[in-house]
Amino acid sequence: MIIVMSPGATEQQIEAVVKKIKEYGCEANISRGVERTLIGAIGDERQINQELIDSLSGVEQSMHIVKPYKIVTREWHKENTVVDIGGVPVGGKTVQVIAGPCSVETQPQMDAAARAVKVAGCRLMRGGAFKPRSSPYAFQGTGIEGLEMFRRAADEQGLPIVTELMDVRMLDTFLEWNVDAIQIGTRNMQNFDLLKEVGRVNKPVILKRGMSATISEWLMAAEYIAAGGNHNIIFCERGIRTFETAYRNVLDVTAIAVLKKETHLPVIVDPSHAGGKAWMVPALSRAAIAAGADGLLVEMHPTPCEAWCDADQALTPEELIDLMGELGGIAKVIGRDI
């Protein structure tokens, strides 16, 4: 950590900072510049309470030098981690497309969806049984019954399933129904108690980025899960909130490249929630894979016009097939397959 003292900082103030640094078990290196004095804290700076340093007299600002995350960083773990979802590897050479409807509605809908996922060549299926809706008056999902329908339809096609967990009290039910990967939604990225709980189980977790979470906060949210012992984490970029109102979110492709550099864990992209409209999905999907994403989480519905939720952003089964074709071409250009 670097502590920058104010121009007029006294010797006494400098000494007080040095004393505090030593209390945290670090050594201090003082550098007296023309306009300011700098104090470097040498040692395990993660031990230092930065806010407390900032509150000392004469301190202008302080800056961390070492990254606050340990387990998820690529710094100490150079090779890519491949996460296994029910036998399907995510983060390896093969790009994985997880497809399925926004929400589980009925058994026939799920059966048709599972068949379409399989036919398109996707190896993993998505579907929401518990839905986070901004309005208490909107459809909230089919719940446990939905899980059951989902499991049945996916098993028929031999597809592992991915579904969102919102309430910590529902975790045991997810394990009973043998959900293959637990999705943590954008609104729960910093629901720390939920993160701690999924950190204690042995299931892959797909961690969506918070609506306006920084890369650093996102990595720290993953660190919460990892610190509990569960290292099977997949990041999912789903668009961020900005000033733009012409589309729902802004898909942040730069985040893909930056995450792949910062962490050894896989990174996938949800192009459906990013843009918010089905016609945008192919362009965003191609961009995501071209930028280096390890996979996609795509909404597909057997009959989008009748979907109970997000009807305007689901692909049809035919559109999914076409998309898989294009993505195969792009994967090949960068030395991958699909």
> What residues numbered 250-269 form the site for a second copy, per CB under 8 A?
250-258, 261
Binding of a second copy by 178 (CB under 8 A)? no
CA nearest to 182, candidates 218, 152, 147: 147
**Nearer of residues 11 and 35 to a second copy, judged by Cβ:** 35
Interface residue with a second copy, options 288, 297, 320, 324 (CB under 8 A):
288
Among 97, 220, 267, 296, binds a second copy (CB under 8 A): 220
Query: How many other C-beta atoms can be found within 10 angstroms of the C-beta atom of residue 56?
Result: 16
Q: What is the Rg, in whole angstroms, of the alpha carbon atoms belonging to the chain?
A: 23
Kindly state the helix (H) or strand (E) to which residue 30 belongs, with its residue range: strand 27-32
Binding mask 296-315 for a second copy (x = CB under 8 A): --------xxxxxxxxxx--
Work out which of 12, 169, 202, 337 binds a second copy, going by CB under 8 A.
169
**Rounded Cα distance, 234 and 100, in Å:** 18
Q: Which of 278, 320, 323, 324 binds a second copy (CB under 8 A)?
A: 278
Integer distance in angstroms from the first to the last C-alpha of the chain? 44
How many whole angstroms separate alpha carbon 304 and alpha carbon 314? 6
> Considering only residues 126-145, where is the footprint of a second copy by CB under 8 A?
132-137
Q: How far apart are CA 336 and CA 17, in angstroms?
A: 52
188 binds a second copy (CB under 8 A): yes
Of 315, 329, 327, 305, the C-alpha closest to 116 is 315
Gap between the Cα atoms of 93 and 37, Å rounded: 50
Q: With contacts defined by CB under 8 A, name the span among 81-89, 90-98, 111-119, 211-219 that binds a second copy.
A: 211-219
How near is the Cβ of 167 to a second copy at its closest, in Å?
4
121 near a second copy (CB under 8 A): no
10 binds a second copy (CB under 8 A): no
* Whole-number Å distance between alpha carbons of 301 and 282: 15
**By the rule CB under 8 A, 227 interacts with a second copy:** yes
Residues 42 to 81 in contact with a second copy, rule: CB under 8 A: 42-44, 46, 49, 51-52, 54-56, 63, 65-66, 68, 75
22 vs 32, beta carbon nearer a second copy: 32
* Beta-strand relationship, 27-32 and 267-269: unpaired
